[in-house]
Structure 1
Amino acid sequence: MRRSLVKWLLGSVGALAVIAPLAMAVGEASLPTVPAGLKAVPVPKDNPMTAEKVALGKQLYFDKRLSKDNTMSCATCHDPAKGYSNGEAFAVGVRGELGGRNTPTIINSAYSSLQFWDGRAAHLEGQALGPIANPVEMDLSIEEAVKRINSIAGYREQFQKVFGSDCTPDTLAKAIAAFERTILSGDAPYDRFKAGDKTALSEAAQRGLKLFTGKANCSSCHSGPNFMDGAFHNLGVGFDKSEPDLGRHAISKQEGDKGAFKTPTLREIHRTAPYMHDGSHKTLEEVVDYYDKGGTSNDYLDEEIFPLKLTAQEKADLVTFMKEGLASPSYPDVKAPELPQ
C-alpha cells in the first residue's frame, strides 16, 4: 500500500507538542476533553490551546465577513449540521461558483498532518486561510480579511488579549485552527464495544466490524482510532473520464501519486454524504458497491483495491457498522456564537 513520505517526515520534525485531554491546558471547564477512543491531540508548539483563543476562532469560523460579499463563512461549507461538510457533491463558493472537489469534513482533522484531498497544506494552520483567499470559495484577499477584522473593535480587543497584537495573517490562521482542533468525534458505539461493552454494537454491526477488518479490507487504509492512515490512494474514482483529477500528483509530482487522494476519516461518516473526492457516490451503499467491484481499473490503482465478492447481506452489515458503530452520541454540534461588532 502506498504511503506518503511527506506525511512521515512532517510527523517527525518535532513541530508538535501533544496534550491530552485538551481541557487540561486551561482548566476542566474551559476546553473539551478528548473523547474516548481517540489519542491525544497534536498541538503546534507555536499555537498552544487556550479557551480564549478557541472562542475567538469559533467566532471567525462562523463570520461571513470573511468572504468578499459577506455571504459565506467557513461554516457555510463546513456546516456542523451536515457533518462539517456541505451535503453537496462540490464546494459552493461566492456567486454560487462550484469548486472542483467535494468538501472534506473537519471532524478530527486535528489528527492530520496534511490537509485537503491532495495534502497541499501542512496542519490546520496551513489550511485555515486557503478557502478565504480562494476565488471560487470565499474570494477575499488575506490582506483585506485582516483589515476587516482589525476594523471591528470586538475582534481587535480579543486579538490583543490572545496574541498581544492586532490581527495578522498568522494569528488569523492560528485562531481558526485552534477552534477546528476542538471538533472531535469519539466515544462511539465502536469505542465502547472495543472497551468491553459487548452490547454497544448490534449483531449486524458486529458482523460488519468483522468484515471491515477482514474480508472487506477496509482497515488496510481506514485504520487507527480515526479510521484513516494519513496516506494517499488511487481508487480509480473519476478515471473513466477523459481528464481525471490527478490528485496528490499535482503536489508531489510523483508518477505513482496520479489519481491518489487522502484517506478520509470514517467517524460520523453517515453525516457527510455524498462521498469520494468528487462527490460521485450519494450513499454508503454506493460506496460499498464501488469497492466490491474493485474500483475503476487504471495504471495507478492502489494494490489494496480489488474485487471483494461480498454478498448482499455482507454489504448491508458493513454499512450498518459504519452508520451505527461510528456515530457518536456526543457529536460536536457547535452552534454559531454571537459575533463581535
Structure 2
Amino acid sequence: MLHLKKRTQVWMLLASLALGAAELQAEPAVSPPKLALGYTQLPFALPEPGSYELPDLGLAADGSVLDSESRPTTLYALLSAQRGQISLLSFIYAACSDVNGCPLSTMVFHKIKSRLQKEPDIAKNLHLLTLSFNPEHDTPAMMKHYGQSFQGDGLSWQFLTTHSEQDLHPILDHYQQNIQKIYNAKGEFTGTFSHLLRVYLIDANKRIRNIYSVDFLHPDTLINDVRTLLLATAADHKRRTPSKPVPSTTGIFSAGDNKTGYEQADYQTHAIALSDRKGKAADLLANIRKAPLGLPPVPVPEDNPPTAAKIALGRKLFYDRRLSLNKTFSCAMCHLPEQGFTSQEMATAVGVEGRSVGRNTPSLFNVAYAQTLFHDARENTLEQQVWGPLLARNEMANPAIASVVDTIKENPDYPHLFKAAFGKPANMETIGMAIASYERALISGNSAFDRWYFQKQSHAMTADAQRGFGLFTGKAGCANCHLIGKQSALLTDQLNHNTGIGYQEAMGKPAGPQPVQIAPGVFAQVSSQIVSAVSERQANDLGRYAITQNPQHRWQYKTPSLRNLVLTAPYMHNGSLQTLAQVVAFYNQGGVANENLDGLIKPLALSAQEQADLVAFMQALTGDNVDELVSDAFAAPIGESQ
C-alpha cells in the first residue's frame, strides 16, 4: 500500500503539470506546449545494446554539494560511491513549471527506476543524481521533500543541493549549464530560471559518455546506453576512449614519450630513445611545386620564390635554440614535428624560462594556405609572422631584431648558407624569408577523405566516416566554416568567429576545486586558490578585439583548418578541449551563449552515434606524408652541425 501511495503521488505531480499545460491551452493567445519525446513512446527502434559506441566527452567535474540530510559531500564521492557504477546526473529546480524542463528529467528518472526494479543486475550498477541550481530555495529539507515520492527499493536516487551559489557556479560552469535568473519589470527575481535541459551519462571512470537534451531524453534511450556501457570490457573501453590520439602511424616518428591513455591507471610508457629517432631528408620543394590531392596550388609570394637552399636554411633556423634570448629555445620547442607541429602535452604554450604564452600552439601543417596568422589573425604573411615569436617576451624573448641578426652573423655555420640562398648576408628580411620557406613546405594532403571525395574511391573512407561527412556538410553545419570545394578543400573559411570558448574563459572563473592529474589514473581535487597561488596571473584574452578594438570582435578567433586534426590535440585557442569527441560535444550544445556569439553557432541535437560519426570523419583527414615530414625534421642539422 505504501508503494502504491508513493506512485500515486508521483503521477499526481505529473498530472498537475499536465493540468497546468491545459490551463495554458485555455488562453486563446497561448499555444499549448508540445510534449517532449520523453512523455511518449519512441517512434523508432533502438539499436542493440553494445552494437554502437558512446564517445568519451571528457572528465566529469567535481564540486561541493549537500545531500538531503544536509551532509556535505562532493560529486566525485557520489560518482565513485560504488566501484564500477554508472551515474545519471540531472540539474533542476523544484519550482520549475515547464513541462518540458525539470519535470521531464524527473519523470524520465522515475520511469528508469521503476523499470529497473525487475533488472537488479543493471539497477545495482546505476546511480541517479539530481542537483538543484536554486540553493536559496531548494534547501536540503526541500530536496528531501521533493524526492520523497520517488524513493523506494532498488535503484539509488539522491537529491542534492549546494550550500550557496558560490559553491554552485563552478559546477554549472564545468558542466556548461547556462542558467539565467528571470526578473520582472521592477528588477525583482521571479523565482524562475531560463535554462536548457541537459542530463549527463557518466561512466565508472567519471567520464561523460552522453549528454541528453530535451529532444533526446527518453527512458528507453538512457537504459539502452547504460546497458551498452555495462557490456563494454575495460580493455574495450580503453581502446575506444584514448585521452589523446597517437600522433603518427609509425612508432619512431610519434611523440618521444607518448601519453596516450595516461588518464587510466594501467597506463604504460612507450618512450623512444633519442638514438632511435633518426630521420631522412625529404624533397620539401616538391611539396610546394605540386600540391598533393585535395589541396589547391600552394600560394607563393612574388618576392620570395621557393628554392631548396632557402628551405634547408629555414629548417636549420627553425630548430636552432641559439635564436632565443638565453640560447635554449627554438621554434620547434612549441611546434614539435612528432606532435603535429604543435604541442600535445600542454593546453597553452610555454616560452623561455617557463613563461606562459597563454594560447595553444597552432599547427603548421598547410600553413602556406593561411591568409592570416596567429589565433587573432594579426599577421598576413609568414615572412612577417616569424618575428612575432622571436621578439615576444614570453616566447623566444629577444630584446630586438638586431640581437637575432647578430647571433646568426656571429655563428660561422650561417654566413655561407645565407650567401647561397639569398646572395647576401642575414638580415631581418632574409631571416623571415628563410624560416617562412621551410614552414611553407609543410604541406600534407592525400588523406582518406581526399581519395574518397576527389578520386571517388568508394572504400577509401569507412562507413562511419562517410556518415560523418553527411553530417559535416548537412545537419551539423560544420562546412559553413570549414569549407569544402569542388576541386580542393582547405577546410577553413579564413575568417574569425566567436564560439563562446573565449567568453567562457574570461567570464566563468572557477571558484571550487579543480581536478589535477598527479599520476596515471590518479586525480586530486585542488582548490582554485592553491592553483592560482602557483600560477601566473593571466590577462583576459579578448581575441580579435585586442587587434581591432572593435567591440563586435570580442572573443573572435581564426577558423583553423581541420586537416591532420587528429594529430594536433588539444583543441581551441586555449587548448581547453582535449579530444575530438569533446569538440563535437561543445558544438552540439551550441557553444557558450554570449552577446557576440556567432550566428552559425546553435544547438545541433546530434545523437551519440552521430557525434561518433563526425569524429570518424575528422579522423579521415590525416595526410599520407606525415611521417615523411616528421622524418625530415629529425634529419635537420642542429646547432653548429653542418
- Taking the TM superposition and a 5 Å limit, the aligned residue runs for 1:314-329 are 314-323=610-619, 325-329=620-624
What is the aligned partner in structure 2 of residue 12 from structure 1?
A: none
Alignment-mate amino acid for residue 202 of structure 1 = T
What is the aligned partner in structure 2 of residue 107 from structure 1?
A: 365
What is the aligned partner in structure 2 of residue 20 from structure 1?
A: none
1:82 has 2:339 as partner: yes
Query: Following the alignment from structure 1 to structure 2, what is the Cα–Cα distance between the partners of residues 29 and 229?
Result: 26
What is the aligned partner in structure 2 of residue 73 from structure 1?
A: 330
**What SS does the corresponding residue of 2:497 show, helix, strand or coil?**
strand
Query: Following the alignment from structure 1 to structure 2, what is the Cα–Cα distance between the partners of residues 183 and 217?
Result: 29
Alignment-mate amino acid for residue 335 of structure 1 = A
**What SS does the corresponding residue of 2:435 show, helix, strand or coil?**
helix
- Greater Cα offset, 306-315 or 92-101: 92-101
1:36 has 2:266 as partner: no
Q: Residue deviations 1:93-137, cap 9 Å, x none? A: 011111111111111111112100001111111111110111101
Query: Following the alignment from structure 2 to structure 1, what is the Cα–Cα distance between the partners of residues 326 and 545?
Result: 33
1:46 has 2:344 as partner: no
- CA change 1:155–1:302 in 2 (3 A) is same
CA contact (8 A) 1:66 1:145 kept: yes
Query: Following the alignment from structure 2 to structure 1, what is the Cα–Cα distance between the partners of residues 341 and 577?
Result: 18
What is the aligned partner in structure 2 of residue 271 from structure 1?
A: 567
CA contact (8 A) 2:565 2:622 kept: yes
**What SS does the corresponding residue of 1:115 show, helix, strand or coil?**
coil
What is the aligned partner in structure 2 of residue 283 from structure 1?
A: 579
- CA change 1:29–1:110 in 2 (3 A) is closer
- CA change 1:335–1:262 in 2 (3 A) is same
Deviation at 1:238, TM superposition (A): 3.0
Query: Following the alignment from structure 1 to structure 2, what is the Cα–Cα distance between the partners of residues 71 and 232?
Result: 34
- CA change 1:59–1:114 in 2 (3 A) is same
Query: Following the alignment from structure 1 to structure 2, what is the Cα–Cα distance between the partners of residues 100 and 193?
Result: 38
Query: Following the alignment from structure 2 to structure 1, what is the Cα–Cα distance between the partners of residues 421 and 582?
Result: 46
What is the aligned partner in structure 2 of residue 93 from structure 1?
A: 351
- CA change 1:133–1:29 in 2 (3 A) is closer
1:216 has 2:476 as partner: yes
Deviation at 1:254, TM superposition (A): 2.2
What is the aligned partner in structure 1 of residue 637 from structure 2?
A: 338
Q: Which has the larger radius of gyration?
A: 2
Q: Residue deviations 1:193-220, cap 9 Å, x none? A: 0111010000000000110111111110
CA contact (8 A) 1:153 1:340 kept: no
Query: Following the alignment from structure 1 to structure 2, what is the Cα–Cα distance between the partners of residues 34 and 169?
Result: 29
What is the aligned partner in structure 2 of residue 189 from structure 1?
A: 448
**What SS does the corresponding residue of 2:299 show, helix, strand or coil?**
strand
What is the aligned partner in structure 2 of residue 142 from structure 1?
A: 401
What is the aligned partner in structure 2 of residue 299 from structure 1?
A: 595
Please point out which of 458, 462, 468 is paired with 1:198: 458
- Greater Cα offset, 228-237 or 61-70: 61-70
Please point out which of 308, 313, 319 is paired with 1:62: 319
What is the aligned partner in structure 2 of residue 178 from structure 1?
A: 437
Please provide the CA RMSD for this pair: 1.4
- CA change 1:189–1:107 in 2 (3 A) is same
CA contact (8 A) 1:244 1:259 kept: no
Unaligned runs of 5+ in 2: 1-282, 508-538
CA contact (8 A) 2:284 2:441 kept: no
How high is the sequence identity, in percent, across the aligned residues? 42
CA contact (8 A) 1:236 1:259 kept: yes
Q: Residue deviations 1:307-333, cap 9 Å, x none? A: 00000000000001101x101221132
How many equivalent residue pairs? Answer: 313
Query: Following the alignment from structure 1 to structure 2, what is the Cα–Cα distance between the partners of residues 198 and 70?
Result: 51
CA contact (8 A) 1:249 1:257 kept: yes
Q: Residue deviations 1:143-201, cap 9 Å, x none? A: 11111111122211111121121100111000000000000111000000011101000
What is the aligned partner in structure 1 of residue 493 from structure 2?
A: 229
- CA change 1:266–1:34 in 2 (3 A) is same
- Taking the TM superposition and a 5 Å limit, the aligned residue runs for 1:242-257 are 242=507, 244-257=540-553
What is the aligned partner in structure 1 of residue 7 from structure 2?
A: none
CA contact (8 A) 1:124 1:177 kept: yes
Query: Following the alignment from structure 2 to structure 1, what is the Cα–Cα distance between the partners of residues 639 and 573?
Result: 35
Alignment-mate amino acid for residue 286 of structure 2 = L
- Taking the TM superposition and a 5 Å limit, the aligned residue runs for 1:110-129 are 110-129=368-387
**What SS does the corresponding residue of 2:502 show, helix, strand or coil?**
coil
Query: Following the alignment from structure 2 to structure 1, what is the Cα–Cα distance between the partners of residues 285 and 396?
Result: 31
Alignment-mate amino acid for residue 416 of structure 2 = E
Query: Following the alignment from structure 1 to structure 2, what is the Cα–Cα distance between the partners of residues 210 and 29?
Result: 34
Alignment-mate amino acid for residue 587 of structure 2 = Y
Query: Following the alignment from structure 1 to structure 2, what is the Cα–Cα distance between the partners of residues 36 and 301?
Result: 35
Query: Following the alignment from structure 1 to structure 2, what is the Cα–Cα distance between the partners of residues 80 and 112?
Result: 19
Query: Following the alignment from structure 2 to structure 1, what is the Cα–Cα distance between the partners of residues 503 and 377?
Result: 20
Q: Provide TM-score, normalisation by structure 2.
A: 0.48
Alignment-mate amino acid for residue 205 of structure 1 = A
Query: Following the alignment from structure 1 to structure 2, what is the Cα–Cα distance between the partners of residues 154 and 209?
Result: 49
Query: Following the alignment from structure 1 to structure 2, what is the Cα–Cα distance between the partners of residues 155 and 217?
Result: 49
Deviation at 1:30, TM superposition (A): 5.0
CA contact (8 A) 1:258 1:300 kept: yes
Query: Following the alignment from structure 1 to structure 2, what is the Cα–Cα distance between the partners of residues 318 and 30?
Result: 34
Alignment-mate amino acid for residue 610 of structure 2 = E
Q: Provide TM-score, normalisation by structure 1.
A: 0.89
CA contact (8 A) 2:285 2:306 kept: no
Query: Following the alignment from structure 2 to structure 1, what is the Cα–Cα distance between the partners of residues 470 and 570?
Result: 25
CA contact (8 A) 2:502 2:543 kept: no
